[in-house]
Each structure stands twice: as C-alpha cells, then as structure tokens.
C-alpha cells in the first residue's frame, strides 16, 4: 500500500500539478498508512477515519489558481466550473475558508467529502477522496486541479485582475510554468500500420506522448486505430500513459460485445472512421482549447442555457470546428464526425476537448492537436492583453 501512495504522489509531482514538499496521500489498510508531508499526512489520516473511503489525497497545487478562485468567490460556498470533467464527475467544488475550520478542521472537511469527490481548503489546497482505490484519489485531485485551472483563466479573462497577488502569479505562470507542447524529438511509425503488435505498441507510445506534452491529464482522453475490420481503442477509465494491456480490439460493425470495456467515446470514433476514412484518432483535453471553446460572443443574448449540450450552431477556432454534445453515445457522437469531415480532421467539443485524426498514422493526429492547442493558447493571451494588458 505504501508503494502505491508513493507512486501516485510522484505522479502528481511529475504532472507538475502539486508542490512536492506540500503533498500527502493516506489510505485505509489494516491501519491508516500515509506518505508525504508529515503534517498533511496526519490531517489526511484524521479526515479518512471519518469517511467510508479507502484513500485521500491532500496537496498544495503548483499554481495558486484554486486559492485565487476561493478569494474571488467572496461569500460563496462553492464554485461550479463549466468544463466537462466537473459536470460529469465533480458537479461542484466546495470552498472551505480558514475561518470555518475551527479547532477540528478534519471534521468539516470530512463532512464535505462525504458528498463530494474534492474540496478547496484555504491555506491548504485541494483535498480529494478515493472511494475504492488510491488511484481514484489521485484522479479526483487531478480533476479538481484541471477544473480550477480552466475556471480561473476563464474568470480572469472575463473579469480581469482583482487580487493584489494575481499580477505576479500570472506573469510567473505565463513565462515560466507553461510549457509549449511539441512533437520535436518524438518518434512515430510511418505508413499504414497493419500488425497487431505494432498497432498496440504505437497506441501506447502516442498515449504516453499525449500526457507528457500536457495535452491531456493522465486518466482522461482516448486513442484508437482502425485496421481492416477492427478498431483498436483504449479502454474506459484507462490512463493514456499506461495503456499496456488496456487496449481493446473491437469489430468495426459492432457485431460483438467485446467493446463493453472500450472507451465511452467508441461511438464517436466509429463515426469519425466512417465519415472521414482516417485510420488514427486522438482525443485529448488540452486546457486552452477547452477554455476557448466556451467563449461565445452571443452568450449574453442567446436563449440556450445548456450550451455544452444543446447549442445548435457550429463555431470555428482558426478553422477548427467547435461543436456541442454530451459525451458517450450522445450528441458528441453525432456532431463530431461530420465536423471533422468538414474541418480537416480536427474538431473541438464545447468545454470538453479536441479530436484529431491521421490518414494513416498518429503523427498527423498528434501534430494537429498541438497546432490546435498552440493557437488557442496564443489567442487566449492575445485577448487577455487586448482587454487587460494595458491596465496591469
């Protein structure tokens, strides 16, 4: 158990999402086992004793965005980010202020975690619970980090700087924390892939690249390749940087039930293959593409309230289609394939992420995702500078 705790704490650090000296994980074994910062480990153990759960992750994020959101949400008990991960898994994120904690902080934190997967605690950071596994605690912590990243940058673009520390923090984030995704130095198989082993190996390799370049958090996203009448696709709930043994060969015509463990986006992948004739598909959640997908000039006058699900219009970001749709076999599976066919094998889903394709292999799909995210990042900061740069 201790080895698992160490593994997932190291992943948080490798993801550059948590401060290494201010992080801890705890889990229920025959006793409470913990790893990481001593003080946070003790608090994690106290909280976990009050929960019907196996594991808990507590860490100070590498970015101050969660804390800024708490300060900007004066008088509010929670925040509700608009990204798909929040809507699907988190619903909302409770905010706990120092003044509320009292002499027994574990009690209030445990109370909130009894009905939510993660919370933001002033002066501590993000705390997330894993009901059945240590991995779930890591995933839920990462989901909150992802959600706060997107919501903070959304809010600061719309409202500007309101806190004294934000100017320096945003400058540090923009000039030092951010890394530009790149395919430089990465190796891709060329030509059409035909052999099962090379297909499985290439999917695993490209999945790892996608995580390493910050185009998706480890647990989210999916990837597939079509060879003859089979779609090789990552399994649902699999981590893209650990796909060995987690790729399903599914008949293209859906004639069997072997796809039951396949990615929830199997229907979308099948539709993309059918309408575009491509062989490789990559789906990631690059954060600036997610942010930019939710900016709409008609938002204040539009009568649609569930934009992520019911927006009837197809917008475009630098020529890449932006469509709405529920994940799984819902609107996403209907809307993405024709959008990709019209916009050169790439599409952005409102608040969710990016789909790209390659005619023969993954190099084209990977490069396309980098191009989409790079443009979205540049456009975000262009808009920010245009609106607020002169005032900072």
Q: Mind listing the pLDDT tens digit for each residue in 231-254?
A: 999 998 888 999 999 999 999 876
pLDDT of residue 359: 96
Take residue 279 and report the two structure tokens written for it: 């062989």
Most confident range, picked from 247-251, 278-282, 314-318: 278-282
Please state the rounded mean pLDDT for residues 67-83: 93
If 0-12 CB within 10 Å is exposed, 13-18 middle and 19+ buried, where does residue 176 land?
A: exposed
The model's confidence at residue 265, banded by pLDDT at 50, 70 and 90, is confident
Q: Nearest to residue 295, comparing CAs of 356, 348, 368?
A: 348
Q: Which residue has the higher pLDDT, 306 or 47?
A: 47
Phi, psi of 115 (to 5 degrees): -130, 0
List, as one string, the DSSP characters of 324-344: ---STTSHHHHHHHHHHHHTT
Most confident range, picked from 201-205, 245-249, 265-269, 306-310: 201-205
Per-domain residue ranges of the chain: 2-177, 196-387
pLDDT of residue 198: 97
pLDDT of residue 218: 60
Same fold, 2-177 and 196-387: yes
The model's confidence at residue 55, banded by pLDDT at 50, 70 and 90, is very high
pLDDT of residue 150: 95
Check whether 391 has a pLDDT greater than 60: no
For the domain covering 196-387, report its CATH number.
3.40.225.10
**For the segment 353-382, what is each residue's pLDDT rounded down to a tens digit?**
999 999 999 999 999 999 999 999 999 999
What is the b/e burial string over 113-122, where b = at least 16 CB atoms within 10 angstroms of the residue's CB? beebbbbbbb
Q: Nearest to residue 233, comparing CAs of 264, 197, 187?
A: 264
List, as one string, the DSSP characters of 192-233: ---SHHHHHHHHHHHHHHHHHTTSS-TTS-EEEEEETTEEEE
pLDDT of residue 255: 62
Check whether 392 has a pLDDT greater than 60: no
What is the b/e burial string over 46-73, where b = at least 16 CB atoms within 10 angstroms of the residue's CB? bbbeebebbbbbbbbbbbbbbbbbbebb
Non-local (6+) Cβ contacts of 127 within 8 A are: 44, 47, 56, 57, 58, 109, 113, 118, 119, 121, 141
Q: Which residues pair with 96 in a beta bridge?
A: 121
Q: Looking at the structure, give the CATH architecture of the domain made up of residues 2-177.
A: 3-Layer(aba) Sandwich (3.40)
**For the segment 184-233, what is each residue's pLDDT rounded down to a tens digit?**
999 999 999 999 999 999 999 999 999 999 998 767 889 999 998 999 99
The model's confidence at residue 77, banded by pLDDT at 50, 70 and 90, is very high
If 0-12 CB within 10 Å is exposed, 13-18 middle and 19+ buried, where does residue 299 land?
A: exposed
Q: In the predicted model, what is the mean pLDDT of the chain?
A: 91
Please state the rounded mean pLDDT for residues 311-316: 79
**For the segment 102-119, what is each residue's pLDDT rounded down to a tens digit?**
889 999 999 999 999 999
Q: Give whole-number Cα distances, 29 to 53, 221, 392, in Å.
A: 11, 31, 51
Please state the rounded mean pLDDT for residues 272-296: 95
């Amino acid at each position: 158990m201790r080895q698992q705790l160490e593994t997932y704490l190291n992943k948080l650090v490798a993801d550059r999402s948590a401060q290494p000296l201010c992080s801890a994980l705890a889990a229920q074994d025959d006793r409470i086992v913990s790893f990481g910062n001593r003080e946070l480990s003790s608090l994690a153990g106290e909280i976990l004793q009050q929960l019907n759960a196996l594991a808990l992750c507590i860490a100070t994020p590498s970015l101050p965005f969660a804390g800024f959101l708490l300060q900007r949400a004066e008088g509010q008990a929670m925040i509700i980010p608009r990204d798909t991960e929040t809507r699907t898994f988190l619903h909302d994120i409770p905010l706990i202020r120092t003044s509320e904690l009292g002499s027994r902080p574990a009690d209030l934190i445990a109370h909130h975690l009894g009905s939510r997967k993660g919370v933001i605690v002033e002066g501590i950071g993000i705390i997330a619970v894993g009901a059945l596994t240590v991995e779930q605690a890591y995933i839920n912590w990462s989901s909150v980090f992802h959600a706060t990243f997107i919501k903070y940058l959304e809010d600061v673009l719309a409202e500007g700087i309101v806190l004294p520390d934000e100017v320096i923090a945003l400058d540090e984030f923009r000039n030092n924390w951010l890394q530009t995704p790149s395919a430089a130095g990465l190796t891709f198989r060329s030509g059409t892939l035909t052999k099962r082993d090379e297909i499985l190996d290439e999917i695993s390799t490209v999945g790892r690249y996608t995580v390493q370049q910050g185009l998706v958090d480890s647990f989210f996203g999916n990837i597939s390749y079509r060879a003859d009448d089979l779609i090789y696709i990552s399994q649902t709930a699999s981590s893209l940087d650990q796909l060995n043994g987690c790729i399903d060969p599914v008949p293209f015509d859906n004639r069997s039930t072997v796809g039951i463990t396949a990615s929830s986006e199997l229907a979308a992948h099948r539709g993309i293959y059918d309408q575009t004739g491509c062989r490789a598909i990559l789906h990631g959640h690059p954060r600036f593409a997610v942010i930019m997908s939710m900016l709409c000039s008609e938002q204040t006058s539009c009568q649609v309230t569930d934009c992520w699900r019911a927006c009837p219009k197809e917008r475009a970001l630098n020529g890449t289609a932006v469509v709405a749709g529920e994940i799984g076999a819902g609107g996403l599976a209907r809307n993405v394939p024709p959008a990709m066919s019209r916009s050169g094998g790439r599409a952005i889903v409102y608040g969710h992420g990016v789909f790209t394709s390659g005619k023969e292999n993954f190099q084209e799909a990977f490069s396309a995702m980098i191009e989409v995210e790079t443009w979205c990042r540049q456009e975000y900061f262009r808009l920010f500078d245009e609106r607020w740069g002169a005032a900072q």
